[in-house]
């Protein structure tokens, strides 16, 4: 099996940071939909 | 024959007229930053209800000037310096038509001076957006037009310098990424300033009594083609500075330069359309129109920012791992040069722009969610994260390299320089977060007195709002202190910094 390790693309730490970014975004996005639902009730 | 010198550190051939224009634009930018920062302090100490130092008239007047000084004058003068640096210096070329560079500077300076005088005289209490039918003195609009024309001239000099460099073969292959980013900024600037012209020239004629009316709906639509796109010039310039700081501080190279260039292309194509998120509560536009522009096109511009926000730290990580910091996931981050103000500015700017400004921008720019954020303190909280904690901090970071390279002086007060990005960056991030938190409780933006003392009804906010506004006040003062430290280091370097022979 070929060795696909490329030091020019070794950025696990950045990948983890980006995942934290996405999680933060998701939480904030959903929270705001919740806030909207509380002030703008439908049905 | 024009005079060149060769920088012993970078090897750039630096054209003397380009160097002078970079110096004069950067110094003028810092003067406006100082003025805008003092006004910002007054804003903070007025919105902090326990202090509340300005009366209503001066609050709105100085808020107008704070917006103009910071969002327009500081940023665009500094961007002119970046355009000349990214073309003439980075490409080791002569600057095309230095006289036009001086025309740019004089037009912008005269324009900014007219605007400032008109606001201080009380002839333009129209806030940054100057929405019609609010009417300022026609001199105010003329000042903005002169400033914009000056900026267009600067962009033309930039493009002409790219042509000169290509023609005279001062570089090989494609232009470097930093120049490419500056070029994207200049392309957006031309479109933005064209919007400014079609917005402000008729408004100027209307204010002078030469045409009978301005349509407010059309004004708002066109204004944001200018008002928001101008912030995207900042974003492009800031991202170009991020890549430059990565290279200068840790020797990083873009992980995939083609992808980064495509991301700059997304900015050019989509950001102008996405500007319409400012109009999400505007009654004159259809829901479908708003949804298309902000729900689809806006996210293509956001995608560009996300590509850069991944690419820049990844490039830094790769560079630091190559230096041997390979242990675990985050040794590279722990061992990064946190004492270098260029690096700490880069890191804090990325966090401020990406985490705080980026996430909140997407949420507040969503059509349905905008209804609970529009005109609240959440919005200035968002853009202080992007433009101040992001762009301004990145520009501050690059200054620590521009001072020795272009002004040929060692940075004065290195201890203060080391701490400055932390005071400014962390202060501004706490400030933005606290503003957004208070806005979540309904605290209005652009409001002199949130308690409604002179209103026909009382406004009772949750008790936590008072605490939050105190945090806004304290963190704002800390950020202003960081700004004062920056000005002290920059001015101190020019006056007493040790000369570098080059």
Between A and B, how many residue pairs show a Cβ–Cβ distance under 8 A? Answer: 61
Domain-embedded: residue B267: no
Residue with tokens 């025309």: B103
Q: How do residues B210-248 score in pLDDT, each as one tens digit?
A: 999 999 999 998 999 888 888 888 899 999 999 999 999
SS (H, E, C) B296-319: HHHHHHHHHHHHHHHHHHHHHHHH
Whether the pLDDT of residue B371 is over 50: the answer is yes
Q: Which residues pair with B1 in a beta bridge?
A: none
- Whether ipTM exceeds 0.85: yes
Q: How do residues B141-155 score in pLDDT, each as one tens digit?
A: 999 999 999 999 999
* Residue finishing a domain among B140, B171, B202: B171
Average pLDDT over residues B357-379: 92
**Structure-token pair, residue B389:** 């904690």
CATH label of the domain that carries residue B389: 1.20.120
All residues of chain A having their beta carbon less than 8 Å from the beta carbon of residue B363 are 28-29, 32
Mutation target vs B (from A8, A9, A17; most B CBs, 10 A cutoff):
A17
Residue A5 sits at the chain B interface (C-beta within 8 Å): no
Distance from CA of B93 to the nearest CA of A (A): 31
At B182 the pLDDT is 94
Q: How do residues B158-192 score in pLDDT, each as one tens digit?
A: 999 999 999 999 998 999 999 999 999 999 999 98
Domain-embedded: residue B312: no
* Residue finishing a domain among B171, B202, B217: B171
CA B351 to chain centre: 16
* C-alpha pair distances (Å), B396 with each of B238, B341, B342: 11, 9, 8
Of B321, B330, B369, the CB nearest to A36: B369
DSSP label of B284: T
Domain-embedded: residue B192: no
At A1 the pLDDT is 46
Domain-embedded: residue B163: yes
Domain-embedded: residue B377: yes
Domain-embedded: residue B493: yes
All residues of chain A having their beta carbon less than 8 Å from the beta carbon of residue B310 are 14, 18
Question: What distance in Å separates the CA atoms of residue B104 and residue B155, rounded to the nearest whole number?
Answer: 9
Contact between B317 and A32 using a beta-carbon 8 Å cutoff: no
At B287 the pLDDT is 86
Mutation target vs B (from A13, A30, A36; most B CBs, 10 A cutoff):
A13
CA B221 to chain centre: 22
Q: What does pLDDT average to over chain B?
A: 92
SS (H, E, C) B17-56: HHHHHHHHHHHHHHHHHHHHHHHHHHHHHHHCCCCCCCCH
**Structure-token pair, residue B365:** 């720019």
Q: Domains in chain B: how many in total?
A: 2
* Residue finishing a domain among B145, B171, B197: B171
**Structure-token pair, residue B480:** 């202003």
Domain-embedded: residue B250: no
At B9 the pLDDT is 75
Half-sphere exposure (CA, 13 Å, Cβ side) for B119? 26
Question: What distance in Å separates the CA atoms of residue B416 and residue B320, rounded to the nearest whole number?
Answer: 26
The parent domain of residue B342 ranges over: 337-450+462-502
Average pLDDT over residues B181-204: 92
More confident residue, B9 or B466: B466
Question: What distance in Å separates the CA atoms of residue B149 and residue B155, rounded to the nearest whole number?
Answer: 10
Residue B83 contacts by C-beta under 8 Å, 6 or more apart in sequence? B154, B155, B157, B158, B182, B185, B186
Nearest to B445 by CA among B102, B224, B127: B127
Whether the pLDDT of residue B309 is over 50: the answer is yes
| 3-state DSSP assignment of residue B15 | strand
Choose the weakest-confidence range: B23-32, B85-94, B220-229. B220-229
At A5 the pLDDT is 65
Nearest to B444 by CA among B419, B422, B465: B465
Question: What distance in Å separates the CA atoms of residue B137 and residue B226, rounded to the nearest whole number?
Answer: 20
Residue B325 sits at the chain A interface (C-beta within 8 Å): no
Nearest to B427 by CA among B41, B33, B26: B41
At B381 the pLDDT is 97
Of A14, A21, A33, the CB nearest to B314: A14
Domain-embedded: residue B248: no
Q: How do residues B430-451 score in pLDDT, each as one tens digit?
A: 999 999 999 999 999 998 888 8
Quote the Cα angle for B353-B356-B357, to 5°: 50
Question: What distance in Å separates the CA atoms of residue B65 and residue B119, rounded to the nearest whole number?
Answer: 7
Nearest CA in chain A to B366: A29
Residue A10 sits at the chain B interface (C-beta within 8 Å): yes
Percent of chain B with pLDDT over 90: 77
Residue A30 sits at the chain B interface (C-beta within 8 Å): no
Distance from CA of B318 to the nearest CA of A (A): 6
Contact between B309 and A33 using a beta-carbon 8 Å cutoff: no
Whether the pLDDT of residue B399 is over 90: the answer is yes
Contact between B310 and A18 using a beta-carbon 8 Å cutoff: yes
Contact between A13 and B354 using a beta-carbon 8 Å cutoff: no
Question: What distance in Å separates the CA atoms of residue B225 and residue B273, rounded to the nearest whole number?
Answer: 8
């Amino acid at each position: 099996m070929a060795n696909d390790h490329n030091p020019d693309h070794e950025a696990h730490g950045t990948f983890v940071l980006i995942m934290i970014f996405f999680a933060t975004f998701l939480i904030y996005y959903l929270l705001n939909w919740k806030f909207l639902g509380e002030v703008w009730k439908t049905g | 024959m024009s005079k060149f010198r060769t920088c012993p550190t970078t090897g750039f051939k630096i054209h003397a007229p380009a160097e002078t224009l970079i110096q004069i634009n950067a110094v003028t930018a810092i003067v406006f930053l100082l003025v805008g920062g003092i006004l910002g302090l007054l804003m903070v100490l007025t919105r902090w209800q326990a202090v509340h130092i300005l009366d209503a008239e001066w609050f709105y007047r100085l808020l107008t000037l704070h917006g103009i000084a910071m969002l327009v004058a500081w940023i665009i003068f500094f961007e002119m310096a970046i355009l000349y640096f990214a073309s003439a210096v980075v490409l080791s070329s002569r600057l095309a038509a230095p006289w036009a560079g001086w025309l740019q500077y004089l037009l912008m300076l005269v324009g900014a001076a007219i605007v400032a005088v008109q606001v201080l005289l009380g002839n333009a209490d129209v806030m940054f957006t100057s929405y019609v039918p609010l009417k300022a003195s026609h001199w105010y609009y003329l000042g903005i037009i002169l400033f914009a024309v000056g900026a267009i001239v600067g962009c033309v000099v930039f493009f002409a310098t790219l042509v000169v460099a290509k023609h005279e073969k001062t570089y090989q292959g494609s232009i470097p990424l930093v120049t490419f980013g500056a070029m994207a900024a200049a392309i957006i600037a031309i479109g933005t300033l064209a919007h400014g012209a079609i917005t402000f020239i008729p408004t100027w004629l209307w204010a002078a009594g030469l045409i009978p009316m301005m349509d407010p709906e059309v004004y708002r639509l066109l204004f944001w083609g200018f008002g928001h796109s101008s912030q995207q010039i900042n974003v492009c310039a800031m991202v170009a500075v991020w890549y430059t700081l990565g290279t200068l501080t840790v020797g990083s190279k873009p992980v995939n330069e083609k992808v980064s260039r495509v991301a700059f292309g997304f900015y050019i194509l989509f950001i102008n359309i996405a500007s319409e998120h400012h109009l999400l509560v505007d009654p004159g536009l259809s829901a479908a129109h708003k949804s298309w522009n902000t729900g689809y096109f806006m996210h293509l511009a956001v995608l560009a920012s996300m590509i850069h926000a991944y690419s820049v730290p990844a490039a830094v990580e790769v560079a630091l791992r190559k230096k041997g910091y390979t242990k675990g996931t985050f040794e590279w981050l722990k061992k990064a040069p946190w004492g270098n103000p260029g690096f700490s500015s880069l890191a804090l700017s990325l966090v401020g722009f990406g985490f705080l400004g980026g996430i909140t921008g997407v949420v507040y720019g969503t059509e349905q969610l905008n209804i609970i954020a529009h005109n609240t303190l959440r919005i200035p909280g968002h853009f202080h994260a992007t433009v101040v904690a992001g762009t301004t901090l990145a520009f501050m970071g690059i200054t620590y390299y521009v001072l020795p390279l272009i002004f040929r002086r060692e940075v004065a007060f290195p201890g203060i320089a080391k701490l400055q990005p932390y005071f400014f960056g962390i202060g501004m991030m706490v400030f933005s977060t606290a503003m957004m938190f208070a806005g979540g409780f309904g605290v209005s933006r652009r409001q002199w007195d949130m308690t409604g003392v002179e209103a026909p009804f009382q406004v009772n906010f949750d008790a936590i709002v008072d605490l939050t506004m105190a945090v806004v006040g304290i963190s704002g003062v800390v950020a202003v202190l960081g700004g004062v430290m920056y000005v002290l280091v920059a001015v101190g370097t020019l006056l007493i910094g040790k000369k570098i022979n080059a």
